[in-house]
C-alpha cells in the first residue's frame, strides 16, 4: 500500500519542518512540500504530528548471541529495540566465544548482518 502523509512535522537538518512524505512499497519514496505521485495511495493529514524523528541509540544492551541465545538473540533484541524507537544499539561483549579477537567478533558480526533489524555496534572485550 502506498501512503501520502501530508502536513507532517519532519525532522530534517537539525530542525522540524512542515512537509509531505510519500511512502511507496513500505519505503520512503519522497519528502518535500509538493510531491508528485502516481498510482493508488491513501492520504493522511498529519497536521501537528511528528514523524521521521531521529532514532534513539542504546549504548548498553545484552543481545546474548552467540553463546546464550536461550536468553535473547540478535534478532529478538533488535526487533524489541526497533519497536521502542531505537535505530542503533551497542552490544555488550559477555558472549561465548568472547569477542576478544578478530575471529571471534566476526562470528557475532555475521549474525548481526543476517538477523539485525537496527544498526548494531558490538563492543569487544578487553581480555
DSSP 98-120: -S-SHHHHHHHHHHHHHH-SSEE
pLDDT digits 0-9 by tens, 94-115: 999 999 999 999 999 999 999 9
pLDDT digits 0-9 by tens, 12-25: 888 888 999 888 88
Decide if 112 contacts 84 (C-beta within 8 A). no
Look at strands 50-51 and 56-61 and give their pairing: unpaired
Among 50, 123, 118, CA closest to 87: 118
Per-residue pLDDT, averaged over 49-59, amounts to: 86
Name the helix (H) or strand (E) containing 79: helix 74-83
> Whole-model pTM above 0.85?
no
Amino acid at each position: 500500500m502506498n501512503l501520502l502523509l501530508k502536513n507532517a512535522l519532519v525532522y530534517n537538518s537539525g530542525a522540524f519542518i512542515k512537509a509531505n512524505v510519500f511512502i511507496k512499497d513500505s519505503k520512503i519514496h519522497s519528502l518535500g512540500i509538493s510531491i508528485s505521485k502516481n498510482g493508488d495511495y491513501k492520504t493522511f493529514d498529519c497536521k501537528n504530528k511528528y514523524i521521521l524523528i531521529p532514532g534513539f541509540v542504546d549504548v548498553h544492551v545484552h543481545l546474548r548471541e552467540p553463546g546464550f541465545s536461550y536468553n535473547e538473540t540478535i534478532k529478538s533484541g533488535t526487533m524489541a529495540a526497533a519497536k521502542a524507537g531505537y535505530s542503533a544499539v551497542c552490544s555488550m561483549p559477555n558472549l561465548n566465544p568472547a569477542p576478544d579477537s578478530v575471529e571471534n567478533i566476526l562470528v557475532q558480526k555475521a549474525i548481526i548482518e543476517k538477523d539485525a533489524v537496527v544498526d548494531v555496534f558490538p563492543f569487544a572485550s578487553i581480555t
